[in-house]
Amino acid sequence: MVPSESIDDDQYFGGRRGVVVLAVAYVAVGLGLFYSLATQSIDLFSGVLVAIIVLVGLSLYILYRREGLVTAENKLIAIFVLVATGLLFGLLEFTTLPSEIVYGIVFGVGVVVPGLLLQYTDYGSD
């Protein structure tokens, strides 16, 4: 982690102004969403949804740059979650297995296996 003295206050919205701008943008999008629903304007609603996606993307980018979320552990977990999601759709669509079994398999692949790998191996440890 980088010491706080070397990080510029305005880098990645770390300063007070950046946080205020981001907060005002979230409030404005919320008000726009409320107004679009109140007036039943699909055009305004579509624009607000795009703004929500942009703000969430910006927030994730800021979080990624500030915290460094891409670690070996997170990559492993992400891979198993994607495999489990694919299994969920594949097993539900193309098999006649009971849903309890499908969810058990998905839970095992998405939660148990990566947890065991991280706990009992040195993967991702410094």
Same domain, 62 and 79: no
Q: Residue 86: inside a domain, yes or no?
A: yes
Residue 44 lies in a domain: yes
Asked if residue 121 is part of any domain, the answer here is yes
Residues 99 and 58 in one domain: no
Domain end position, chosen among 53, 68, 83:
68
Q: What is the pLDDT along the chain (126 residues), one digit of tens a residue?
A: 444 444 444 455 566 777 788 889 999 999 999 999 999 989 998 999 999 999 988 887 877 777 677 778 888 888 999 999 999 999 999 999 999 999 999 999 999 999 999 888 887 666
Return the pLDDT at 14: 61
The verdict on 119 and 75 lying in the same domain is yes
For position 75, what pLDDT does the model report?
85
Segments forming the whole domain that contains residue 80: 70-125
- CB-based contacts of 118: which residues, under 8 Å, 6+ apart? 73, 76, 77, 124
Domain end marker among 25, 52, 68? 68
Measured between alpha carbons, how far is 86 from 70 in angstroms, rounded to an integer?
Answer: 22
Shared domain for 39 and 61, answered yes or no, is: yes
The reply to whether 56 and 40 lie within a common domain is yes
Instruction: Identify whether residues 58 and 76 lie together within a single domain.
Output: no
**Residues 94, 61: one domain?**
no
Cα separation, 122 vs 110, in Å, equals 19
- What pTM was computed for the model? 0.51
Domain presence at residue 46: yes
pLDDT in the model for residue 4:
47
Question: Is residue 62 domain-resident?
Answer: yes
Q: Note whether residue 87 is domain-resident.
A: yes
Query: Residue 8 CA to chain centroid, in angstroms?
Result: 26
Q: What's the CA gap between 10 and 19, in Å, rounded?
A: 9
Is 75 in the same domain as 63? Answer: no
